[in-house]
Structure 1
Amino acid sequence: MSATVAARSILTQLHELMASRMHAQGKLNQVVDIIGEALHSEVCSIYLLREGMLELYATRGLNQSAVHVTRMGVGEGLTGTIARNVETLNLAHAAAHPEFQYREETGEEKFHSFAGVPIVRRERAIGVVTVQHLDPRRYDDVEIEALQTVAMVLAEMIQNAGLVDEEGMDGLSLNHSGQEILTGLALVKGLARGHAVFHQPRITIEQTVAEDIEAERQRVYLAFDKMREQIELMSGQAEFGVEGEHEQVIETYKMFAYDEGWSRRINEAIDSGLTAEAAIERVQQRTRMRMREIDDPLLADRMHDLEDLANRLLRIVSGQLGTAASGALREDAILIAKNLGPAELLEYDRRRLKGVILEEGSLTAHVVIVARAMGIPVLGRVRNVRALVREGDELLLDVTVSSMVIRPSADALESFSMRLARSQERQAEYAKLRDVKPVTLDGERIQVMMNAGLRDDIPMLGLIGADGVGLFRTEFQFLVSAALPARERQARLYRDVLDGADGKPIIFRTLDIGGDKSLPYLRNETSREDENPAMGWRALRLALEREALLKVQARALIEAAAGRTLNVMFPMVSEPWEFEAARTIFEKQVAFLKGQKRILPEAIRYGVMLEVPSLAEMLDQLLPKLSFMSIGTNDLTQFLLAADRSNPKLAERYDWLSPAILRFLQRVVNIAKDYPVDLGVCGEMGGRRLEALALIGLGIRRLSITPAAVGQIKELVCKIDTREIGEAMKGWLANPPADMRQTLQQWATERNIEVD
């Protein structure tokens, strides 16, 4: 007997039974007989989750007196284990299993073989259906598959009959109940407390038994066609453009999408009498069973890809193609996703979105760049998070220690709440400094500016009291666009930014794309096979090669700044001639617009980012031509130390307070003193209190940092005497201590300057 024939035989009888007017208990009593006879099994029992306990609700073969009497907790005995883990058990010798518990009132001591499958509703077990046999044998695959098919129909019947308490359903997660801690990779640090929201919501199957098998088959055929069409276009979608791995992902997806075995199994499930949705879910359950048995990590990853593709097919066939951003987002949402594109993240209400957790993700992914700008904490590479978390679970996200807590205990919640409250109190104190000018104890005015990249960032200028935008990343508009943004669209963004700044200076950095920030619509130019993307064909190097790209941006910036001062900064300059070439492109656009009688900017101030160490050797040639210069400490540090900042093994080597880094910065400051150039620092270094203290001691008087750090750096500035810290830094750099970080920390502590 094939699985299809067995399942169809059972479903035909169940369909008639479900249509009858018999009460629920009577239906379940008949169900166990139908299953037992079809599988030639002496015992068939149904357990339902009631008030948090699994209760024997109907049986064929066990003592009838045990019905509604035998109860067990989730995780207790074989049946409880099935419910807890939401997995199938198939045992030739039940008593040999470590979780076996004998219940005297059932009279089951004479039965040796045992098989059970969970009855699943909305990703959680609401019951278990079991079969037992006198002889010690494992049930055949066709019998288990038939049993799983029945369980799907039972889930619908049980829910419609109201036999399972909603409280019972909510009390059991997909795999576990109670607190669980997961770890991952810190992508954007921060704290968040909220409830789980799936980026691509789970599909709830409302109807399992098909009315018209051919109609269901046609629905699946059309869904497969649409899915395959999506995959052919997938290489251009942001959500798959991660670290060059997208090609491998797409090839794996194609392999599964065109796999005849997968589509055949879905068709067989439809033949047995299931709807299209139920058939896909039925095959997915089989996949999940096999995934649990796979030890090979590579093969397990491929099975995860199949799971992801099955979810995509399920959404297509059910017509539910939207994401959680399409509907009303809850007030304290923590988004769960396999991966996420930057444009997808921007669709969410940033006031309600508290954090993001990804199964994949990397430090250089586009979505991480945007999330950091939005101030949203992100934890990545959390394995199986979508399987271990259910929609609505309470979550505690602490990316400072690279961990998350699912369904926290009272103690964990109290501890986290205290930390979160302290953090919020500090932020409230910093907010009070909005209108306070950052002036040191000895009267030095330090410019504290913020980094930005989105139109929506600009209102933060007034809210936090920043002196301006020291780095506006113009590439964000390109990263979140499906096609190259037209000049008019670019100009509109730049004009809106300048208008919103209300006279405060904005420094626009020209495009920094390429390397690890590839654009699908410029694939040949931004996706070169660089072994080290950070030092590859990117930023100004790429822009000078693609001169038209820089010309369009130059004209957009000049038009947007009509009648105002335009501050333009070129990234990744390694030699003076690159700056000259870029400035020439801008000046030619100025001349063109002047000939067109267009209103020009009142002034154009040109600057560069010092990120490439070689530029420091040519400052005497370059500084006379500049209005300002910003030191990009993120890239500069990794270049100087030969330490990739995205490599966890080099985390301790990537140290901004290394004497070598500080001496380099001191040399740049000393050279710049001889020229009328505004010198500052852009990057995370300036947003950390201890590092900011060191920078001010070196003579840096302009910092451009993340908006979240502006308040705390302003507070720090007001406690510093620049002469005192300046003298201390000179001494330490002349004769470096064994631990510069600890030495600086001790110096600050002795003066009651908080630098943690």
Structure 2
Amino acid sequence: MTNAPLGPTTTSSAVKAARTILTRLHEVMASRSHAQAKLNTVVEVIGESLDSEVCSIYLLREGMLELFATRGLAQEAVHVTRMAIGEGLVGTIAAKAEMLNLAEAAAHPDFSYRPETGEDKFHSFAGVPIVRRERCVGVVCVQHVDPRRYEEVEIEALQTVAMVLSELIANAELVDEEEALGLTAAQTGPEQLRGLTLVKGLASGVAVFHQPRITIEHVMAEDTEAERQRVYMAFDKMREQIDRMAGQAEFGVGGEHEEVLETYKMFAYDEGWSRRINEAIDSGLTAEAAIERVQQRTRMRMRQIDDPLLADRMHDLEDLSNRLLRIVSGQLGTAASMGLRSDAILIARNLGPAELLEYDKRRLKGVVLEEGSLTAHVVIVARAMGIPVLGRVKSLRGIVREGDPLLLDADQQLLFVRPTRDMAIAFDERFAKTRERQATYAALREVQPVTADGTRIVVNINAGLREDMPNLQLTGADGVGLFRTEFQFLVSATLPSRERQTRLYREVMDSAGAKPVIFRTVDIGGDKSLPYLRHDGEDHEENPAMGWRALRVALERDGLLKVQARALLEAAAGRTLHVMFPMISEPWEFDAAKAVFEGQIAHMRNLKKALPEAVKYGAMLEVPALAEVLDILLPKLSFLSIGTNDLTQFLLAADRSHPKLAERYDWLSPAILRFIRRIAAEGHAHNVPMTVCGEMGGRQLEALALLGLGIRQLSITPASVGPTKALVSKVNLPEITAAMAGWLANPPADMRGTLMAWAVERDLLAD
């Protein structure tokens, strides 16, 4: 069979020529020849088609790139010439998994001359990686005597050839699949990635992608028209999904998110993208291979453009390409639906709370996100589940591969990919120390937290899920100081019915037994938007934490609060109900919320329904303004909780999720400590129990400061109960109270450092 070279050509003729190449390759693949003979024929086909004197194929063998077949170079070099990953132009292509197109090969800094090949007379060079299961397993390259850059259509033809070679290599088992799980220093060597700690903790396991990439098993199409119809249907389905996503109430009207979605939709409806996929099908590729071919080309182009905005757009197109691949292949499930087979670290761009809860909690050890923020719903749920989370890890998908061993150190903001033996040993030592401390803390389960001077401190846990309740017994905590009822709303696809809410609250109280549970009414809105609950007149909020949320939403939508009140009252029949209202800024809001509950009590009494023995009402102090009217509010309360997470960012005007303000969000700021001391003093004066809820109370140094400010009740994460009990047993309250009074009267330049030195001198803190 004769074939005219590609050369510079129009799109239609390029497609025709590419199809001719594929047709010839199809004949090669279908022949009864052995693998080496097929490779020998392939290099001849490509060399002729691209009018190149040289075409060579290098494959991975025993960690080295070996010349397997060539047209134009010395045949004696076949199976003799070998180069390391990153060595020479071929090694560079393999190391970076990127193509090269050079008019003068010797001018490239990575050029490495191999005399046994006889390549000294060739000037131009182009090569593309051969990728199998997301791994580079070889390189196909062409060379020419005359200095020239290869045309774009020629590079696309090479990429198509590389996809076909990937299938041939797999079927003929020319490379070891296990060895091909990694190739380059960047793909097999150890990597250390840095991110943002979203939930602290240590974990180890293999990398599992939440949305697994599709493995393309068949490259060449038997019926191009059938493949085209598959793509058309997939495009229609994908566009329906995008339109539905854009129309969800959760996004509201206006704002930056709308622009992002419009850009996303623009890609989904981009005729140029769909046309390029169709052209790839015309050349003889299957639907999956055509999508992947276009995706590979887009990646290579975008990597050459140093523009952050365009990089973000590439991320959108990558996401859409993966979505289209999943649809066309019929592989729509996440890793959760397929089940985890071993201890795993989940890798995702972003994750919803309901998606996290789908995973087997026995096998899921950690989560790493390309995006993510401290206030994301999934972070709240992960913290409650005790799963460490690292967010904002750049280049995650480009470095981590499915099945890679990972060590997650969220405490130090690090992810170790394919760790060395020394890394693993050091990590295991840290892990062992952590487990030893946990064992020590577990031994304190039955020990009451009493200070060295004999003062009983109340240590409660925070919860929000039914699954959290066993921690009450495991830690020996005094009760649940904060049950976040919004978790049920966040993980539900629809508004939870009264029956569902009642069942949850009853099960929670049954699990707690005689220990008290303080239920905080639902805190939704702001940054906790629900797709099924649209707020009237909702606009994009620049500061959602300070916006239309929590009790503000509940009082406006009193039907929501009435249903929750009824559910809580029914669940607590015959018991004492502790209920707390969040985000109160003025006393009238507490009065209005309490009136809703009292109205439901009266209604239930008329219906002869069983009622709680007593209802104790409390408030959460998060808004600083409430501190100015505590003399009015405190006489109405059974208890007051200080929500240090929101309170601190409001007092310091420092968004806790903003990386540049992280150092300013300091709980040991003298201003924060003085404020809490004033609140504690007012609570004691009115004989109203005061509890600090939030992360501040769960850190040993901060907890020490709180004890010195007069706080005698803490509500913290279950993991913090043991360390806090250990601290409490060593503390002399009069001593820390006097020290805090002195420091706050004349604050040191470094309050944190001063308190740390004081605590270390007295051996109060755990290692």
Query: Which TM-score bucket, shorter chain as reference?
Result: over 0.9
Distance 1:649 1:151 in 2: 45
2:354 maps to 343
2:277 maps to 266
Residue type at the aligned position of 2:473: G
- Cα separation, partners in 2 of 1:174 and 1:246, compared to 1, 3 Å: farther
Conservation of the 8 A alpha-carbon contact between 2:723 and 2:766 = no
CA-to-aligned-CA distance 1:653-677 (integer Å, 9 cap, x gap): 2221222222211111211123232
By how many angstroms is 1:239 displaced? Answer: 11
1:686 maps to 697
By how many angstroms is 1:365 displaced? Answer: 1.4
1:725 maps to 736
By how many angstroms is 1:170 displaced? Answer: 2.4
By how many angstroms is 1:734 displaced? Answer: 2.6
Conservation of the 8 A alpha-carbon contact between 1:36 and 1:42 = yes
By how many angstroms is 1:561 displaced? Answer: 1.0
Distance 2:56 2:753 in 1: 66
Residue type at the aligned position of 1:695: L
By how many angstroms is 1:755 displaced? Answer: 5.5
Does residue 56 (structure 1) correspond to residue 56 (structure 2)? The answer is: no
Distance 1:253 1:227 in 2: 11
CA-to-aligned-CA distance 1:605-632 (integer Å, 9 cap, x gap): 1000011111112112111111111111
Alignment of 1:267-666 (within 5 A): 267-525=278-536, 527-666=538-677
Conservation of the 8 A alpha-carbon contact between 2:86 and 2:184 = no
Once the two structures are overlaid, the 10-residue window that deviates more, 658-667 or 542-551, is 658-667
Conservation of the 8 A alpha-carbon contact between 2:339 and 2:359 = no
2:4 maps to none
- Cα separation, partners in 2 of 1:515 and 1:51, compared to 1, 3 Å: same
Once the two structures are overlaid, the 10-residue window that deviates more, 199-208 or 177-186, is 177-186
CA-to-aligned-CA distance 1:294-334 (integer Å, 9 cap, x gap): 11110111011101100000000000000011122133211
Q: Secondary structure at the match of 1:176?
A: helix
- Cα separation, partners in 2 of 1:536 and 1:174, compared to 1, 3 Å: farther
- Cα separation, partners in 2 of 1:438 and 1:626, compared to 1, 3 Å: same
Distance 1:183 1:85 in 2: 20
- Cα separation, partners in 2 of 1:325 and 1:690, compared to 1, 3 Å: same
Alignment of 1:183-262 (within 5 A): 183-235=194-246, 246-262=257-273
Conservation of the 8 A alpha-carbon contact between 1:519 and 1:527 = no
Q: Secondary structure at the match of 1:523?
A: coil
- Cα separation, partners in 2 of 1:244 and 1:443, compared to 1, 3 Å: farther
2:93 maps to 82
Alignment of 1:143-158 (within 5 A): 143-158=154-169
Conservation of the 8 A alpha-carbon contact between 1:450 and 1:707 = yes
Distance 1:240 1:95 in 2: 54
Does residue 750 (structure 1) correspond to residue 761 (structure 2)? The answer is: yes
Distance 1:238 1:350 in 2: 31
Conservation of the 8 A alpha-carbon contact between 1:174 and 1:389 = no
Does residue 102 (structure 1) correspond to residue 113 (structure 2)? The answer is: yes
Conservation of the 8 A alpha-carbon contact between 2:128 and 2:158 = yes
CA-to-aligned-CA distance 1:436-480 (integer Å, 9 cap, x gap): 111112221111101011111111111111111100101111111
Q: Secondary structure at the match of 1:301?
A: helix
Q: 1:182 aligns with which of 190, 193, 201?
A: 193
1:675 maps to 686
Distance 2:658 2:303 in 1: 30
Long gaps (5+) in structure 1: none
2:719 maps to 708
Q: Secondary structure at the match of 1:645?
A: coil
Residue type at the aligned position of 1:24: A
By how many angstroms is 1:530 displaced? Answer: 2.5
**Identical positions, percent:** 75
Q: Secondary structure at the match of 2:685?
A: coil
Residue type at the aligned position of 1:272: S
Distance 1:49 1:438 in 2: 61
Number of equivalent positions: 756
CA-to-aligned-CA distance 1:632-671 (integer Å, 9 cap, x gap): 1111112222222222222222221222222211111211
Residue type at the aligned position of 1:687: G
Alignment of 1:6-25 (within 5 A): 6-25=17-36
Distance 2:442 2:352 in 1: 31
Distance 2:766 2:434 in 1: 14
Residue type at the aligned position of 1:365: A
Conservation of the 8 A alpha-carbon contact between 1:519 and 1:526 = no
Once the two structures are overlaid, the 10-residue window that deviates more, 96-105 or 637-646, is 637-646
Once the two structures are overlaid, the 10-residue window that deviates more, 492-501 or 183-192, is 183-192
Residue type at the aligned position of 2:361: R
2:5 maps to none
By how many angstroms is 1:230 displaced? Answer: 0.6
Conservation of the 8 A alpha-carbon contact between 2:56 and 2:141 = yes
Distance 2:673 2:596 in 1: 35
Residue type at the aligned position of 2:622: E
Once the two structures are overlaid, the 10-residue window that deviates more, 281-290 or 175-184, is 175-184
Residue type at the aligned position of 1:302: R
Conservation of the 8 A alpha-carbon contact between 1:82 and 1:116 = yes
By how many angstroms is 1:411 displaced? Answer: 2.5
Distance 2:537 2:680 in 1: 34
By how many angstroms is 1:141 displaced? Answer: 0.7
Q: Secondary structure at the match of 1:718?
A: helix
Distance 1:50 1:525 in 2: 63
Residue type at the aligned position of 1:309: L
Distance 1:324 1:654 in 2: 36
Once the two structures are overlaid, the 10-residue window that deviates more, 323-332 or 113-122, is 323-332
Long gaps (5+) in structure 2: 1-8
Distance 1:752 1:383 in 2: 39
1:741 maps to 752
Q: Secondary structure at the match of 2:188?
A: coil
Conservation of the 8 A alpha-carbon contact between 1:55 and 1:71 = yes
CA-to-aligned-CA distance 1:96-155 (integer Å, 9 cap, x gap): 111111111111111111111111100111111111111110111111101110110111
Distance 2:415 2:148 in 1: 43
Conservation of the 8 A alpha-carbon contact between 2:349 and 2:371 = yes
Conservation of the 8 A alpha-carbon contact between 2:461 and 2:715 = yes
Q: Secondary structure at the match of 1:651?
A: helix
CA-to-aligned-CA distance 1:141-196 (integer Å, 9 cap, x gap): 11110111011011101110111123431232695331122222222222222221
Q: Secondary structure at the match of 1:313?
A: helix
> How high is the TM-score relative to the length of structure 2?
0.96
- Cα separation, partners in 2 of 1:386 and 1:171, compared to 1, 3 Å: closer
1:698 maps to 709
Distance 2:290 2:424 in 1: 41
Distance 2:100 2:416 in 1: 29
By how many angstroms is 1:582 displaced? Answer: 0.2
